[in-house]
A and B are shown apart, each in its own frame.
Chain A
Amino acid sequence: MSKPRPFLLFHLITSATVFLLMFVFLAEKASANVQEDIAELKKQIQQLKQEQALQKQLFIDEIAALKMSEQIPELKEGAKTISNLGMAASKVYSSKSKVSIGGYGELTYFDPRTQGSNNESDAYRLVPYIGYRFNDWILFNSEIEFEHGGANRSTGVAVIEFMYLDFLLSESANIRIGNYLIPVGITNLKHEPVYFGSVNRPLIEKNLIPSTWHENGILVYGNVIGDFQYQAGIFTSPYAKNPTNTDSNFSPSSWIRGGRQKGAQAKAEDWSGVVRLDYSGIRATDVGFSYVYGDTSQDVAGLGNLTYSLAEVHFETRLAGFEWNGLYTRGTFDGAGELTYTSGGTLGELVEGWYTTFSYDLMRFQEGASYQLPVFVRYSEYDLNKEVATGATRDKALSKKVTTIGLNYKPTNQVVLKADFQAVDTDAGYGGDQFSLGMGFVF
């Protein structure tokens, strides 16, 4: 037998040690990799848990916000209005997206109860609002109106009702430049159909305050003291008379309404000023007044200074199913004697009127009611010939007393079906009654 060779033994021991070290090294490395993997997995699980918790919290926050807006509707996004505009017109100010699209529509059916008058159904208004917020202080807002079926018949119109840029400088002063709604009265700013119970807008806010009244100009608005909001601006004056026509644009039956230029290639020789103050410090109540003054001759040859003024005071209040509003207005026109009408009639130098509307939701105390059923009554008096030029004859038929009663069905705050009956008496006698139906929506 040969003796083991020392070199071979050494070689075997060395190899075994190397193998052992390699095994230990590899095992440790493998173990370290596993631990790293486990740590990585733990980290991922932690991240997932955090993301899940975040998503759950977002979900909870969203539900809580929805719940709160149901319980306190005044806190709902979009319920916030800016410079007394309606909720859809104000959408761009509170929209989460830069682009905002809103709108409203009205369809009417009129049944005049006077002999010889025809019934009429009208796709009265379809109005999209489009707005865009460029940054946190500059935004664009617009209202485009298709009226009486749009432009497919001679009576239809498509018109820009407002189109302006708002520069939101501070709470106390913001600047609006463009075609804007003249801040007068209740309905001119909030003319969406869910805001008034009658199928037609209040007649005083059509024939004395010429809603919808919008012109080109500049407006400054904001809050200076507490719950007071002010608006002050200048705009292109109404156009009293086109020199190529015999009759003036103003008329006895709707006063300055026919002189609205609506920003369409508007004569800009004469400008009017408007100031408005609103107070919302009385709970659930808004009170305000406004005053407009300007020259309306627009430098037409042969016409002197034709100045007009329009003042109004109004309020709106709401509580537990009751809503009550009212408005008083008075307008003057200096120079009515210079304007003539081939069909006769006299333009008022002093016009005056007031109305009040009272409504109550019949479903208010019906437990679990999912809709509103307001009944309303409006009484108004106005006189478009309260005073006329010396020597002119006052038209008694332009002094009217109008009573409107009606019922609305509101399955939501944004949809309304309407029915009303309107009786008109004048100082000259019966002024005609009318039964009306309507539907409206806003979004």
Chain B
Amino acid sequence: METNSAWEWDLSFKWVFILLFLGGSAWAELLIKPDMALKLRFGETAVITKKNVALNNDQLQQVRKKVRWPVEEKIFTFYEIKDKNGTLTGFASLISDTVRSQTQTTMYFLDPIGTLKGAELIAYYEPPEYKISNKWMHQNLMNKTSKSPLKPGDDLPIVTGSTLTTESLARSARLTLALWEIVFANSTNKK
């Protein structure tokens, strides 16, 4: 058989190609589907009901005041979670917010009385070096309530190089707590 020896130099090219690929494999956009994040958090047997809510004008004004941000949208997605016996075990919100020019979508977890119990990044479209870890969110958002300032530089540390992401996460957390208080708190208390 006649062999083309000119191909031998390709070998090094292929290795560079493979190494570059392995190095770049942490790139991300959709990180985890919301359904999967809920199952991982609350378990396979949890009964999860999606609650899309629409704010009226009064509620929107109240939300803006609490969040300290000109919230434009009126429709938000929440989830109500019950165990298999029907006991309310918590809530989750799915909040999208623009970081710099692209969005990040975060799921915040609350207990039945509206205290933050963690968060999970669902999708992130900015470059990955600006992303903040789930560990950071867990450490810094745990047990925050609507009374907490949730202000970067105050009760939240600013992550160097990810200032805009930190601000976006704080804003979305305040929005979650405000929405829970305005939309869900009364119905939960009645129960």
Contacts and interface: CB of A to CB of B under 8 A. Distances in A.
Interface of A: 56-57, 60-61, 63-64, 67-68, 71-72, 74-75, 282-285, 315, 317-320, 322, 324, 326, 328, 349-350, 352, 354, 356, 364-367, 381, 383, 385-390, 392-394, 399, 427
Main secondary structure of the interface of A (DSSP, over half): mixed
Interface in B69-108: 73, 75-77, 94, 96, 100-103, 105
B30 A367 contact: no
Q: Interface centre among A60, A63, A365, A366, by most B CB within 10 Å? A: A60
Contact of A322 (B27, B103, B126): B27
Contacts, number: 111
A315 B7 contact: no
Interface in B22-65: 24-31, 33-34, 50, 52-54
Contacts of A394: 2, 4
A399 B6 CA distance: 10
Contacts of B29: 74, 283-284, 318-320
Given A72-B105, A390-B1, 12 more contacts: A64-B52, A64-B76, A72-B122, A283-B27, A283-B29, A320-B126, A324-B24, A328-B14, A387-B4, A388-B1, A399-B4, A427-B6
A285 B25 contact: yes
Given A67-B75, A326-B21, A74 B52 contact: no
Main secondary structure of the interface of B (DSSP, over half): mixed
A64 B77 contact: yes
B54 A60 contact: yes
A413 to B, nearest CB: 13
Contacts of A399: 4, 6-7
Contacts of B4: 383, 385-387, 394, 399, 427
Chain B interface size range: 35 or more
A211 B116 CA distance: 52
Contacts of A354: 10, 14, 17
10 contacts: A67-B73, A71-B105, A72-B30, A75-B34, A283-B26, A324-B24, A386-B3, A392-B2, A399-B6, A427-B6
Given A60-B75, A283-B26, A349-B1, A383 B52 contact: no
B123 interface: yes
Contacts of B123: 71-72, 74
Contacts of A57: 52
Contact of A386 (B7, B25, B96, B101): B7
B103 to A, nearest CB: 5
Interface in B104-123: 105, 122-123
Contacts of A322: 27
B102 to A, nearest CB: 7
Contacts of B54: 56, 60
A423 B94 CA distance: 48
B128 interface: yes
A319 B29 CA distance: 6
A381 B6 CA distance: 12
A365 B17 CA distance: 27
B7 A383 contact: yes
Nearest to B122: A72
Contacts of B50: 61
Contact of B1 (A326, A356, A387): A387
B52 A61 contact: yes
